[in-house]
Amino acid sequence: MGGGLIMIVFDRVNKYYGDFHVLKDINLTIKKGEVVVVIGPSGSGKSTLLRCINRLETISEGSLSINGLNVADKKTDINKLRRNIGMVFQHFHLYPHKTVLENIMLAPKKVLGQSVEEAKKIALKYLDKVGIGDKANSFPSQLSGGQQQRVAIARGLAMGPEIMLFDEPTSALDPEMIGEVLDVMKALAHEGMTMVVVTHEMGFAREVADRIVFMDEGRVLEEASPAEFYANPREERARLFLSRILNH
């Protein structure tokens, strides 16, 4: 952590779905190069929090800014903001009608205006990086879940984002494929990517996170370094959660 640039700031953010209060007074600051892991029971608002960052969800109150740019402001060019934020979903959401290479090249071509050769070069580079350079011409349906998720990560990286968001990236995977995806994410973290990760992978959180954010019922209950959090969670609710998730 230390003195990095401030990238993401939640300032008293609230969100409602009708009467349902999903996010309650969220205050959270994330610096450049930080890896923040958000954990908590299901329904605690973790995914919603993450999805607010690239405005897949809109906030109801408060302010949320990325690099000083107000995300909620109608004047903010959301497409421009999103170029800078890669997102990886639980269910991959690769484009099934396009090859792996086309999946990765689409946004760089259409959004950044890269030439086909340029986009292809970059796509291949990231495919190699996630360890499946040989699958460039396969269709998503021909890949295993772990491979698909690695393609999804490469697709996010090809835009050259400053921030990567991960929404339970391993929850839909068979157990033996979780490792290969986490390894890619670890490598990314070590290269200094700013990452916000919603996950139940406690090993990953402990090893890679700079900070753990524990959420419950729409609130951030606790923020701590992994060492602190796992050794001695301050909140009773966090203690209960940890005992359940670690002793199963």
Partner 1 sequence: MDFAGAYTPDNLKFLLEGFWVTLQVAFISIILSFIIGGLVGIIRYAKVPVLSQILALIVETVRNLPLLLIIFFTYFALPEVRIKLEIIPAAIVALTIFESAMLSEVIRSGLKSIDKGQMEAARSSGLSYTQALIHIILPQALRRMVPPIVSQFISLLKDTSLAVVISLPELTHHGQIIYGQSQKYLIPILILVALMYFIVNYSLSLVAQRLELKRT
The candidate with the shortest Cα–Cα distance to 39, out of 174, 175, 230, is 230
* 13, 31, 39, 89: residue in contact with partner 1 (rule CB under 8 A): 89
Residue closer to partner 1 (CB basis): 139 or 230: 139
Helices (H), 158-235: 175-190, 202-208, 226-231
What does the alpha-carbon distance between residue 109 and residue 116 come to, in Å, rounded to a whole number? 7
Tokens representing residue 144 in the block: 């295993």
Residue closer to partner 1 (CB basis): 151 or 220: 151
* 43, 95, 232, 243: residue in contact with partner 1 (rule CB under 8 A): 95
Q: Give the binding-site size for partner 1 (rule: CB under 8 A).
A: 25
Q: Residues near 183 by Cβ (< 8 Å), separated by ≥ 6?
A: none
- Host H or E run for residue 114: none
The candidate with the shortest Cα–Cα distance to 152, out of 180, 175, 174, is 180
Site for partner 1 in 135-154 (CB under 8 A): 152
Instruction: Tell me if 74 contacts partner 1 by CB under 8 A.
Output: no
Site for partner 1 in 100-119 (CB under 8 A): 106-107, 110-112
Instruction: Tell me if 248 contacts partner 1 by CB under 8 A.
Output: no
Instruction: Tell me if 80 contacts partner 1 by CB under 8 A.
Output: yes
CA 47 from chain center: how many Å? Answer: 9
Instruction: Tell me if 94 contacts partner 1 by CB under 8 A.
Output: yes
Sheet strands (E) in the chain: 6-17, 20-31, 35-39, 61-66, 69-70, 85-88, 163-167, 194-198, 211-216, 219-224
Instruction: Tell me if 85 contacts partner 1 by CB under 8 A.
Output: yes
Instruction: Tell me if 166 contacts partner 1 by CB under 8 A.
Output: no
Given the structure tokens 């009467």, which residue do they identify?
A: 19
Instruction: Tell me if 32 contacts partner 1 by CB under 8 A.
Output: no
Residue closer to partner 1 (CB basis): 42 or 79: 79
Instruction: Tell me if 159 contacts partner 1 by CB under 8 A.
Output: yes
- Contact residues: partner 1, CB under 8 A: 54, 56, 79-80, 82-83, 85-87, 89, 91, 93-97, 106-107, 110-112, 152, 155-156, 159
